[in-house]
Structure 1
Amino acid sequence: MLIDTHCHLNDEKAFPDPAAELAACAEAGVEKVLVVGTEPEDWNRAIALADRFEPVYAIVGWHPNYTANYDPSTLPALEQLLGHPKVVALGEIGLDYHWDYAPHEIQFQALRDQLALGKRLGKPIVFHAREAYSDLLDVLEEDASYRYLFHCFAGTKEEAARAVALGGYFGVDGPITYKKADELREVMRSIPPDRIVVETDAPYMSPVPFRGKPNRSAYVAYVNQGLADALGISADECAALTTSNTRRFFNLT
């Protein structure tokens, strides 16, 4: 059985029928789906799905690309939601230098405020980083007492080594299946296997053979196969490995 550790099933435009998506997951051997809320309205949609469907769990936090609207007064509400029994992590938080949606100083404020909240609550933290790994790792190396997962890791081997030293886990997505992703596959081989989980980021980053089409959580099996090929193990071994890693990181039963 597989677990999709990161998707956006709460995107109502992309997934107007979440029940049908979860039925497809069950047919594909995907037993759980972790849905990420990226800003206050999105948090509530993610948790509503977790309340409605047994296989769904939620992750909530201020995504860096939405922090142009960041308001520290939302933190008490976020803290309350993080106490929900099916909210398994704070995220996806971090830094994004690819897009110019939010000033860097606001992204840093939101990052530091949420790190403090995560530390106080003892919640696992899921990071988004795009063209910003060095600066994010600089912040994290100030205090290595958190539990970290780097969603859709796309850094270098050197940046991966820094994250490993912090005890970080790594999310692998559709790009592991891309023909020209040899560098990513090499990075994944440099990471301890007990630190890797699989995810889709659906509806984004579809794996081969669905590139150019909307992604679905059921396609996490293709990500698992791509990772298995990169690591030189069977798909069943990879599924057992990544599912065990996911349960451990998110405290799932």
Structure 2
Amino acid sequence: MYTDSHCHITDDSLYSRIDEVMDHIKEEKITSLMVICCKEIDFKRALVLKEQYPFIRIAFGWYPGDALEIEEQNYQLLIDRIDSLDCIGEIGLDYYWDDSFKDKQKEVFIRQIQIANEFNKPIAIHMRDATKDTLDILREYSQTKIIFHCFSGSVETMKECLKMNSLISFAGPITYKNARQALECVEQCPMNRILTETDSPYLTPVPFRGKQNEPKNVSLVAKKICEIKQVDELTLCSQIENNFNLFFK
């Protein structure tokens, strides 16, 4: 019933109790899940999980904050593993923590978009305090489908994103008290372009904010969207699952 389009369950903090996490996923009726892998060990763990849980999709890409560490061998690893990937991500730009290596971030971002284009793989985008540069690069280089992960921009930015071949994914922050801008985006985003996610183990939704997040909490994100858009949960979740599945066709 529920879709978590972006989670990090192969991160050490969740993988250390992965059986419990997967039990919760089944109990909460999460039927679509994309595991985001930012390191090779995460990807190897995701492959093992997918053998046991076929509903898992795998994304693998080099995170913008790690751009200084990325060399040619890292791109080759993506190419070598491309047949096992449903998506390349999360990739993009992040100037929030450190904007001293913008050029290197752009280089890594563009190169991964080019790999996605070559192998016709969609991309999952991380965009933080770097909206103009991210969108400019996508407009110039991207040729495949796009998920804007954990969208936190303005309505105007969202509309620019929607002009691309994209889906807008919302996470736990839409449940926070200061989420006025995010709520406006949810309200104005067409139903056939919305996804839900947790970004677990991060961004835990209310009322569990402050505790470790996991995919089971995606139901809280879905319920908030239902409240904003005034639709019933079954209708919303069916639409989101359909959006997610069509994205990969």
TM-score relative to the length of structure 1: 0.93
- 2:149 alignment counterpart: 151
Question: Are the structure 2 counterparts of residues 193 and 136 from structure 1 closer, same or farther at C-alpha, using a change threshold of 3 Å?
Answer: same
CA distance in 2, matches of 1:184, 1:61: 26
CA distance in 2, matches of 1:110, 1:47: 24
Tell me, yes or no, if structure 1 residue 141 matches structure 2 residue 125: no
CA distance in 1, matches of 2:43, 2:118: 20
Question: Are the structure 2 counterparts of residues 51 and 159 from structure 1 closer, same or farther at C-alpha, using a change threshold of 3 Å?
Answer: same
Tell me, yes or no, if structure 1 residue 235 matches structure 2 residue 233: yes
CA distance in 1, matches of 2:195, 2:65: 24
- Cα offsets for 1:51-80 (capped at 9, x unmatched): 343332210000101112111222222112
TM-score relative to the length of structure 2: 0.94
**Of 103, 106, 125, which residue of structure 1 is paired with 2:104?**
106
CA distance in 1, matches of 2:49, 2:216: 17
Structure 2 residue ranges without an equivalent (≥5): none
Structure 1 contact 92–128 (Cα < 8 Å) conserved? yes
Between the two proteins, the alignment pairs up a number of residues equal to: 249
- 2:58 alignment counterpart: 58
Q: 1:17 Cα shift?
A: 2.1
Q: 1:212 Cα shift?
A: 0.6
Structure 1 contact 59–92 (Cα < 8 Å) conserved? yes
- Cα offsets for 1:153-188 (capped at 9, x unmatched): 111111111111112111110011123212111012
Q: Which moved more, 1:108-117 or 1:63-72?
A: 63-72
CA distance in 1, matches of 2:141, 2:68: 26
- 1:81 alignment counterpart: 81
Structure 2 contact 13–201 (Cα < 8 Å) conserved? no
- 2:38 alignment counterpart: 38
Q: What secondary structure is seen at the aligned counterpart in 1 of 2:181?
A: helix
Structure 1 residue ranges without an equivalent (≥5): none
Structure 2 contact 201–214 (Cα < 8 Å) conserved? yes
**Of 183, 195, 199, which residue of structure 2 is paired with 1:185?**
183
Taking every aligned residue pair, what percent have the same amino acid on both sides? 29
Structure 1 contact 60–82 (Cα < 8 Å) conserved? no
- Cα offsets for 1:72-96 (capped at 9, x unmatched): 2222221121211xx2100000000
**Of 204, 207, 224, which residue of structure 2 is paired with 1:206?**
204
CA distance in 2, matches of 1:57, 1:146: 17
RMSD: 1.6
CA distance in 1, matches of 2:60, 2:170: 19
Letter in 2 for 1:205: L
List aligned pairs for 1:24-35, cutoff 5 A.
24-35=24-35
CA distance in 1, matches of 2:89, 2:133: 18
CA distance in 1, matches of 2:39, 2:72: 12
CA distance in 1, matches of 2:61, 2:37: 6
Q: 1:13 Cα shift?
A: 2.6
Structure 2 contact 113–142 (Cα < 8 Å) conserved? no
